[in-house]
Amino acid sequence: MISFEPTEDQRLIQETVGELAKTTLAPRAREFEAAREVADDVQQVIGEMGLALAAVPEAHGGQELGLLTAVLINEGLSRGDSATPFGLHGFGPYVWAAQELASSDQLTDLLTPLAAGKPGGAVAWSEVKARKDRAAFVTTASKSGDGYTLSGSKCFVGGVAAADRFIVFADVEGEATDAPWSGSGAFVVKRDAPGLKLGKRHETLGLACADFGRLELDGVDVNEADRLRGGDDFVAATLRFFARYSLTVAARQVGLCKSSFDITRDYCDIREAFGKPIGHFQAVAFTLADRHMDAESAGELCRRAAWAWDARKPFETCLAYTAQAVAHAHEAAMRCGDDAVQLHGGAGFMRDVIVEKMMRDAKQTALVGMTAEQMDQVAALVACRAKLTPELVLPTPDAQAILT
C-alpha cells in the first residue's frame, strides 16, 4: 500500500518550517512586498537551515532528502507568505537546472557558492521574439575558438539582482537537425562577463519580493567548460528540469490554497449577516467546502508526483503525475484566491486584508515554469495515450514563462 505520510524527519522539517512561516513570514508579508525583497535576516535564517538544498546530493553540499521533502518545504513556506519562496536565495530554478544539466564536476562548482550561503544563480530561458522556422531560441551560441560567443536577449529572468551567474539557453549554430529542440544548449555566464548587460527590473502584478528582469548578451564569450550538456540527452534533461522545478512551484500554490482557505474560513465564522455567521449560509458553506477540497487534492497530487520522482518511477509516469499536480494546483490556487476575495466582500480588495495579495500572487505564480495550460495538454496526451514529444511539453521561448 502506497503512503504519502511524511517520515519522522519530514514531519520535523514541516513543524520547523510551519513555525517559521507562522511567526515570521506571515506577519512580515506586507513588509517584504513594500520593500520588494525578503529581508536579510530572514534570508540568513533560512540559509542557515539549509532548506534550499534539501534535494541536492550530499556530495554537492546538499542534504539529499529528495523532491518530496522539497515539496513539503515549499508548501510550508508559502502558507506563511505565498511570495516569499520566490524571493529567497536558492529556491529558484537554478538548483534544479544545474542538477539535471551539469556534470558532476560542474555541479560542484555551481552549487558550492550556494552551499556557502551566497545567493547562487538564475536561469534565462524566455525571449521576447519568436522563431518561425522551428522550436528554438533566437539567442544564439556561435562556435568561437575553444568556446562560444552568445548573442541575444532574455526576459522574465528571476533573481537577476542577486545572481552571481546565469544558466543561459541558446540555439547552438550548426547543431540543429530535424529532431524537435535539436541544437539547443545551455551555458553558464558569470555576472561580470564582458558583453552581459542586466536590464531594468520588471513591474509585476504579484510576487513583489521577487525581482524579474532582462539580460542582454552582446558577444559574450564562454569556454567549452561552461557548456552544460545534460548527459547523453540534453532535451530529456531539460524536460526533467522543468517538470521537477514546476512541481515545487505547484507546492507553493498548495500553501497559498491552504492559507487563503484558513483565513477565509475564520472570517466567515466571525462575519455575521441576518443574525448568524455568513459561513452558516449554504452558498458560503458550499464554496468553502469546495475550496477545502481543492487545497487537499492539490496537496495530495503534488506529494504523489514527488514520490514518483524519488522512487525513480518511469519518466512517463513521473511526467504524467507532475502534469496533473501542476495543472490542478494552479487552477485550484486561482479559485481559492478569487473566492477568498469574494467571500470577504468589500474588504476583500482592500490592502488591509491579505487575501487580495494572495489572489494576485496566485495569478502570477501560475505563469512560473510550466503553466496550467501546458500541463493540461500533457495530462490530456497521457490520458489519450498519445506520444509525448518535446515540442508538446517544453514551453517555447516566446511563451515567456517566468523562471524565478
CATH number at residue 203: 2.40.110.10
Please state, in angstroms and as integers, the Cα–Cα distance from residue 78 to each residue in 75, 87, 191, 257, 358, following that order: 5, 11, 29, 9, 10
pLDDT at res. 1: 47
Q: Which of 71-80, 139-148, 345-354 has the lowest mean pLDDT?
A: 345-354
pLDDT at res. 13: 94
Higher pLDDT, 203 or 338: 338
Does the pLDDT value for residue 403 go beyond 70? yes
Tell how strand 165-172 and strand 122-124 pair up: parallel
Residues of the chain with pLDDT > 70, as a percent, come to 99
pLDDT band, residue 2 (cuts 50/70/90)? low
**Domain CATH number, residue 299:** 1.20.140.10
pLDDT at res. 390: 81
Per-residue pLDDT of 232-272, as tens digits, reads: 899 999 999 999 999 999 999 999 999 999 999 999 999 98
Of the residues 228, 250, 271, the one at which a domain ends: 228
Q: Please state the pTM of the whole predicted model.
A: 0.94
Q: Is residue 402 part of a domain?
A: no
Q: Is residue 1 part of a domain?
A: no
Domain enclosing residue 243, as ranges: 234-393
Residues 161 and 256 occupy one common structural domain: no
The predicted model gives 82-111 an average pLDDT of: 94
Number of domains in the chain: 3
The predicted model gives 131-155 an average pLDDT of: 91
Question: Which positions ≥6 away from 273 have C-beta within 8 Å?
Answer: 281
Residues 252 and 385 occupy one common structural domain: yes
Q: Which of 11-20, 314-323, 388-397 has the lowest mean pLDDT?
A: 388-397
Per-residue pLDDT of 258-311, as tens digits, reads: 999 999 999 999 998 999 999 999 999 999 999 999 999 999 999 999 999 999
Segment (H or E) for 276: strand 276-277
Does the pLDDT value for residue 135 go beyond 50? yes
Q: Which three cell numbers stand for residue 257?
A: 490554497
Please state, in angstroms and as integers, the Cα–Cα distance from residue 275 to each residue in 271, 279, 280, 394, following that order: 10, 12, 10, 54
Of the residues 228, 251, 272, the one at which a domain ends: 228
pLDDT band, residue 144 (cuts 50/70/90)? very high
Query: How much is the mean pLDDT over the chain?
Result: 92
Please check whether residue 325 is in contact with residue 294, taking contact to mean a CB–CB distance below 8 angstroms: no
pLDDT band, residue 313 (cuts 50/70/90)? very high
Q: Is residue 403 part of a domain?
A: no
Residues 148 and 240 occupy one common structural domain: no
Q: Is 57 left (phi over 0), alpha (psi -120 to 50) or beta?
A: beta
Q: Is residue 363 part of a domain?
A: yes
Residues 97 and 140 occupy one common structural domain: no
Question: Which positions ≥6 away from 233 have C-beta within 8 Å?
Answer: none
Residues of the chain with pLDDT > 90, as a percent, come to 71
Q: Is residue 2 part of a domain?
A: no
CA atoms within a 13 Å half-sphere pointing along the CA-CB vector of 362: 30
Task: For 106-248, list the strands marked E by DSSP.
Answer: 122-124, 140-144, 147-158, 165-172, 184-190, 196-198, 212-223, 227-228
The predicted model gives 376-389 an average pLDDT of: 86
Question: Which positions ≥6 away from 138 have C-beta within 8 Å?
Answer: 127, 129, 130, 131, 152, 153, 171, 397
